[in-house]
A and B are shown apart, each in its own frame.
Chain A
C-alpha cells in the first residue's frame, strides 16, 4: 500500500527485529531465574560464556566411537561446470514436489497442484514448486508474438509488445498468491494429513513488472471507466472484473518471478498481479485489458468463486484473501523425535496488509503465547514465525492465530462454520489444529494428526 518499497522493507526489517526482541525479552522474563546472560553479569566481568555449562544437556549421552569413514564424495571428483546450464535440485530432494489429488478434477488441463509448503523455508517459493491452477492447460507463447491491448473506456486504445512493456518504470514486490479454494477440502471436516493438502494452493514469490496504473493512465482511462476486465491469451480466455480503485491501488503486470521470466505455468510471458486478492483474478497470459463501466459477470465470478451460505444466499465479489496462518513444523508430515525442546514454525499472511502478531496455542485455543518473526514483515506476503516449545511428551493441540494490521483476528473453525456453513467451497480461512499424540502411545507416539473442532 505504501509506495516506496525500499523505505518499506527497511522499516519492516526494523519492525521485525523489534518483534523478535520484544518476544525474546518477554520469553526470558517468563523463565524466572533462567539463563544468566544479562548485561549485568557481563559488565561485572563475571561468568560470561561457560562452555562446560553450555554442554550440560549432553551429559550422560553415549559417545560414538566407530571411526568415521570417508564417503564417495571425498574420494572422487564431482561434476564440472555447465553439466546443468540450468541448475536442478539434488536428486535427494526428489520428493519435494507439487502434487495433485487426481479425484479432484476429471482433467489435468483444468486442475490444480499444491505446493509442498511443509518442505519450504523462508518466505520465497522456488519457481519450480509454485502451485499450479489451470482452466485450459498451459500454452507455450512466443514472447515476440505476444501483445497486450488496453482499450474500452480510454482516450487512446494502445497495443504493447513485450519490449514496450519493459521500457516502463519497473517495480519488484514480494507477494503471496493464494487460490481462494485453499483449505476447501476441510470445510466438511478433516480429510487429509498434510499441510500440502490443507494449505498448498498458495505460493509467495518476488514479482517484477509494470504498475497497472501507469499502463491505464498511458491509454488515458476515462472517469466512466469503473471496472477493468483483464483477459488471458490461453484456451480459457480467463477473465474477471476488477474495480478501478483496486486496479489503481497496487496492481501490476508482471513479467518476472524470482528474478527470471515467469514460468509458463504462471503465465509466461505476462500476468496480472492483484496483491492480496484471489489468485483467480491474477489473469495469466494477459493479452487484453478492457476498461468498462460495469462488471462482466464472468463465469469465474458467478458460477465459481462465489460462496454459498447456509441459508442459500451467496456471497460474490469476495476479492480479498483474509488473514490466515498455519504451523508447518511440527505438522502432520513430521513425527516428534521425543520430549524436549522444539521450535514451532509456520507461515502467516494477510490479503489486507501486513501481519501484526501471530500467537500459538498448544492446548487447543485456551491459552496463547506470542511468536516472533524470523523473516521480514511485508505487505501481503508470507511472514515466518517461530516459537520455542518445551514438549513434555503429553498430548498437545497446536494452533496458530494471526492478527493483521487491520485488526482482524483469525477465528477458530467452529465459529466460522456456525456463521458461514460448510457449502462455501472458498475462503475457508479459520484456524487448523494439529494433534500431537502423547509420546507414550506406542508406535503412534509423537505422531502428528490433522484434527478439527
Chain B
C-alpha cells in the first residue's frame, strides 16, 4: 500500500543518484534516449511540445515515464521522486518537524506554466518599476503581519505564553460553547479533538471526522489559525493576546494527546506553553508523514468513442448501464427533489410543478 514515509526515504536516495546521473550525462542538450536519474526521458519538454502540449495525454506520459509508472495510485510512488518530471515534490527538510515544512512545486512537465513564468518574471530583464506605490517599513506592518509558517517563523518570543491550565480556562471561556470544553464539538460546530480512524471499511461508510490529533500535519497551524480567526465572532482578540492564544494552542494539543518527547510524555497542566514548546511538539504531530503532494491525474483514459471497455461504462465495471444508485425517493416513488425548504418555497424546477 502507498506509504509516504517509505517513499520519502526512497526519494532522498534517488536524489543522490540523480546527481551523479546528471553529472555523467553532462550538460549538453538532451538527446532522445538520455534519461533523468536513469528512468525518465530527459527530453520530456520536446516530447510534450511535439505532442501539441498534451502533457497529460496517456501516450505522452508513457513516453516520458515509461509504461509502468502511469496507472493509478501505484504510479504515485514513482512520482514522489523529485527527479521525475511529473513530481510535485521538491523539498522537505526544514527543521519544523519530523518531515519539516513540506514544499510542493509545479511539476516540470507542466511546461506552459514554466514558460509563462519565465516570460513574466525570470527572463524579464527590462522591467523597471512604475513607481505607483509608496514604500513602507516592515515595522509598520507589525499588527498586520500575523503569519506563522510551518517552521515557526513568526511565533512570539519564548517569554510569551501561559500554563496549560490557564490556557484551558481561556479556552473554556471563549471557545467551549462552540467547540466543546474538551474540543469534542458542540451545536454542529467542528470538533477539535476526535478519536477516529482515517480509514473506513466501505465506500458508503460516513467519511471519518478529521481534527487536530488524527489529521493536522502541523501544530504551528493551530496558533496561526486561532490567532487570526477565533473566537469566531471576535477574531484576533486583543483581550486574549498572544499569551492567551499560545495557552489555548497548548490546551488543544493536550486535548489531542500529542506527545512532547520521544518517551511519549504529554503536557502537564502546569507546563508553561510557549513558542519553544510549540515547536518541540510540531515534530510529534501523529499524522504528519501521511501527506503527499498532488499527483493528479492518476487516471489516464483513452478518448474512446464506440463500444468502450466495461471498466469505463456504468454499472460498477460490468458494462450494465441500468445498474445504478439513486437518491432517496419520495413516498409516491418520485425522486426526492432537492431539500424540503426548496420544495415548499417554490416548484423545484421547470416542468415539475405538481410533482
User: Do the two shown chains form a genuine complex with each other?
Assistant: yes
A interface residues with partner B (beta carbon < 8 Å)? 1, 3, 95, 99, 101-103, 105-107, 109-110, 118, 135-136, 149-151, 156-160, 164-165, 167-168, 187-194, 196-197, 211, 213, 216-221, 226-227, 229, 231, 235-237, 239, 243-246, 248-250, 287-288, 290, 292, 294-299, 302-303, 306, 308-320, 322, 332-335, 337, 352-353, 357, 359, 363-370, 395, 397, 401, 403-409, 411-412, 414-417, 419-423, 425, 427, 433, 435, 443-444, 447, 449-453
Q: Can you give 11 contacting A-B residue pairs, CB < 8 Å?
A: A159-B136, A165-B132, A193-B327, A218-B130, A245-B114, A298-B225, A314-B292, A334-B350, A408-B297, A420-B298, A423-B200
Q: Chain B interface secondary structure, helix, strand, loop or mixed?
A: loop
What are the residues of chain B within 8 A of A110 when measuring CB–CB? 232
Q: Is the CB of B149 within 8 A of A295?
A: yes
What are the residues of chain B within 8 A of A353 when measuring CB–CB? 53, 112
A416–B303 alpha-carbon span in the complex (Å): 16
A363–B298 alpha-carbon span in the complex (Å): 26
| Given A157-B136, A297-B220, A412-B312, CB of A106 within 8 Å of CB of B187 | yes
B86-130 interface mask toward A, CB cutoff 8 Å, 1 = contact, 0 = none? 001000001000000111111000101110110111101001011
Among B16-24, B162-170, B210-218, B266-274, the one that faces the other chain is: B210-218
| Given A151-B138, A313-B3, A315-B291, CB of A243 within 8 Å of CB of B105 | yes
Check: B348 CB closer than 8 A to any chain A CB.
yes
B interface residues with partner A (beta carbon < 8 Å)? 1-4, 51-60, 72-73, 88, 94, 101-106, 110, 112-114, 116-117, 119-122, 124, 127, 129-130, 132-138, 141, 144-151, 153, 187-189, 197-200, 203-204, 206-208, 210, 212, 215-218, 220-221, 224-225, 228-229, 232, 235-236, 287, 290-308, 311-317, 319, 321-327, 333-339, 341-342, 346-352, 355
A299–B113 alpha-carbon span in the complex (Å): 26
Contact of A302 among B122, B206, B221 (CB under 8 A): B221
A115–B221 alpha-carbon span in the complex (Å): 32
| Given A235-B235, A366-B319, CB of A444 within 8 Å of CB of B334 | yes
User: What would 17 more interface pairs be, CB under 8 Å, given A1-B116, A244-B117?
Assistant: A110-B232, A136-B232, A151-B141, A157-B137, A164-B132, A165-B132, A221-B121, A237-B236, A288-B145, A297-B217, A314-B291, A316-B292, A322-B297, A365-B321, A407-B54, A419-B299, A422-B204
Contact of B290 among A193, A313, A405, A408 (CB under 8 A): A313
Q: Is the CB of A312 within 8 A of B198?
A: yes
Q: Is the CB of A217 within 8 A of B129?
A: yes
Q: Is the CB of B144 within 8 A of A288?
A: yes
What are the residues of chain B within 8 A of A95 when measuring CB–CB? 346-347
**Which of B199, B203, B204, B303 has the most chain A CB within a 10 Å cutoff?**
B303
A192–B341 alpha-carbon span in the complex (Å): 13
What are the residues of chain A within 8 A of B300 when measuring CB–CB? 408-409
Q: Is the CB of A451 within 8 A of B296?
A: no
What are the residues of chain A within 8 A of B208 when measuring CB–CB? 308, 423
| Given A218-B129, A315-B295, A367-B307, CB of A308 within 8 Å of CB of B198 | yes
What are the residues of chain A within 8 A of B236 when measuring CB–CB? 237
A290–B148 alpha-carbon span in the complex (Å): 11
User: Shortest CB–CB separation between residue B120 and chain A, in angstroms?
Assistant: 4
Q: Is the CB of A167 within 8 A of B130?
A: yes
Contact of A213 among B121, B215, B316, B346 (CB under 8 A): B121
What are the residues of chain A within 8 A of B351 when measuring CB–CB? 333-335, 337
A288–B143 alpha-carbon span in the complex (Å): 12
Q: Is the CB of B296 within 8 A of A449?
A: no
A150–B129 alpha-carbon span in the complex (Å): 14
| Given A188-B203, A333-B350, A423-B200, CB of A407 within 8 Å of CB of B58 | yes
